[in-house]
Structures are given as C-alpha cells and as structure tokens.
C-alpha cells in the first residue's frame, strides 16, 4: 500500500502538519506565560488559568454555549437522521429535489447569509431573541452535517438486515429500534458530537440571532480578541484543545482496541 508514497509526499505532509499545528502549539506555550504579552516569554505561570476561572462573563457564556450545543446536537441528530433516511431509503417522493437542496445547501452557505436570513424570520414572526433562537438557527445548519454522516453509514448498511428482522416478525418501528439504531449508533454519536462542536464554534450566526442575556462563548471571545490579544484567551484555547485531544485519543484507543479484537475474532473464526 505504501509503495506510492514518495519523499515529496512525506515533505508535503510534514509541511502541512507543521502549518496546521504550529499555531496551536504556540498558543498553548504562551498560555503559561507570566507576562501579558503572548509573543515574548517572561516565565512560567498558570496565572491566566486562574484569571479565566474567575471571569464570570466567560464562565456564564461557556455554560450557555454548552446548553445550546447539547440541545442543538440532540435535535439535529434526530432531524438529520430522518433526512438521511428520506434521501437514502425512501426512493422518489414529491418535493424530493427541493428537500435535497435544503438539506445540502447549509453545508456551504456562508454564515453571514444564514445569520441575517434567520434573524429576519424571527423578527418577522415576532419571536423574542435569546437562547431559543440561537438553538433553532444552529439546528438548521447542524442537521445537514448530521445527515451527511448518517447517509454514509446507511448506504454501508445491508438492507437485508432490516428485511430479516421484519421476516422474523418485527414490525417496522421495532425493526428500526432493535436493528437500525444500534447499527447506526457510531454515526449517530459522531453526528451528535459534530453538531455539538459546530454549535460551540459558531460566532456569526449566533451574533445575528442572539438577544439580551444570551451571549455565547464565541461572542465573548470575539469581543475580547477584537480589543487585542489576551493570555486569558490562550488559556481558554489550551483547555479546549486539550479537552478535544483527550476525547479523540480516548476514542482512538477504543477504536484500536475494537480493531485488535476484530483481528482476534477473525483468527477465532478461522480456527472454527
């Protein structure tokens, strides 16, 4: 498999990864800087982490963002899964083309357009702006991403499994719960996590549809960053990076263990 990889490829990979990771590494290093500058090293300190954890504004915004993220991810996963089924399993139905368009356009739609449009809807129907409006706007674009992930999994699913369940007496709803959901579980989990991250990451749409008392974490970070660099933000960034890395490493380890188990199982199967 690796005969096609050349020195050129290796150099490009190295360059690419240095490019992708250097800023993150520098960000982490300077979060431990004792000085206020984020480019001149003046000694090790965890001072900024302390400051971060006493910053009421940031903590409150983080809490709001987490709540919005979790509700968004849950509803987007349900709706996105339905979209995936409608597109991959239901064949032709009336309005399919429009449906497909609406379910894929959010993947690339510039945030400023989505944000403005969604805000105008809320103003038009007289809905008070706040956490609810942010959550709704996030669900609308997150569900498209969930649908992509779930669709990939559905098309890899053997349709005869569902037929076998029904053949053995399970009604469609029971088939869905007992067979389809467990088999889709990995895609549902990654879809949920992706929707959660997208929501946690969004600045532009939230800025449009937010109202008083609903300031999300990216909105606070943005207003601080606009005023100039702050080691507190470095500390926040470091926490986010470490948290995500930790989760991904755990996920990878679980995945690798399953892979190893699969190899053992295959050996067992061959022995009979």
Give Cα 191 to chain centroid, integer Å.
7
**Between residues 40 and 128, which has the closer beta carbon with respect to another protein?**
40
Closest listed residue to residue 68, CA positions, set 209, 173, 168:
209
**Between residues 39 and 54, which has the closer beta carbon with respect to another protein?**
39
- Is residue 121 a contact residue for another protein (CB under 8 A)? yes
Stretch that binds another protein, among 42-50, 51-59, 66-74, 134-142 (CB under 8 A): 134-142
73-92 residues near another protein, rule: CB under 8 A: 79-80, 82-83, 85-92
β partners of residue 44 = 33
CB 91 within 8 A of CB 159: no
47-76 residues near another protein, rule: CB under 8 A: none
CB 74 within 8 A of CB 196: no
Dump the DSSP string for 72-98: HHHHHHHHHHHHHHHHHHS---TTHHH
- Is residue 212 a contact residue for another protein (CB under 8 A)? no
- Is residue 104 a contact residue for another protein (CB under 8 A)? yes
Of the candidates 110, 128, 212, 227, which one interacts with another protein according to CB under 8 A?
110
Closest listed residue to residue 235, CA positions, set 19, 22, 17, 45:
45
**Between residues 51 and 117, which has the closer beta carbon with respect to another protein?**
117
* Cα separation, 183 vs 176, whole angstroms: 10
Of the candidates 56, 128, 168, 227, which one interacts with another protein according to CB under 8 A?
168
Stretch that binds another protein, among 47-55, 56-64, 66-74, 195-203 (CB under 8 A): 195-203
């Amino acid at each position: 498999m690796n005969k096609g990889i050349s020195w050129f490829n290796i150099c490009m990979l190295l360059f690419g990864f240095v490019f992708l990771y250097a800023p993150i590494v520098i960000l982490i290093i300077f979060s431990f800087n004792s000085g206020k500058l984020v480019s001149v090293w003046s000694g090790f300190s965890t001072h900024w982490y302390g400051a971060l954890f006493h910053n009421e504004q940031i903590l409150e915004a983080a809490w709001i963002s987490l709540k919005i993220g979790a509700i968004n991810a849950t509803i987007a996963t349900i709706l996105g899964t339905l979209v995936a089924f409608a597109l991959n399993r239901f064949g032709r139905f009336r309005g399919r083309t429009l449906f497909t368009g609406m379910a894929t356009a959010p993947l690339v739609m510039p945030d400023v357009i989505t944000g403005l449009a969604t805000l105008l809807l809320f103003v038009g129907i007289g809905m008070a702006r706040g956490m609810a409006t942010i959550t709704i706007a996030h669900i609308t674009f997150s569900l498209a991403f969930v649908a992509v992930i779930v669709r990939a999994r559905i098309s890899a699913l053997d349709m005869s499994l569902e037929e076998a369940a029904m053949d053995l007496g399970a009604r469609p709803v029971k088939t869905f719960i007992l067979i389809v959901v467990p088999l889709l579980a990995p895609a549902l989990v990654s879809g949920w996590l992706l929707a959660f991250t997208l929501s946690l990451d969004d600045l532009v749409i939230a800025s449009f549809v937010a109202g008083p008392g609903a300031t999300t974490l990216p909105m606070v970070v943005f207003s601080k960053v606009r005023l100039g660099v702050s080691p507190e933000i470095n500390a926040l960034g470091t926490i986010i990076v470490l948290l995500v890395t930790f989760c991904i490493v755990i996920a990878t380890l679980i995945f690798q263990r399953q892979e190893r188990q699969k190899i053992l199982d295959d050996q067992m199967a061959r022995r009979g």
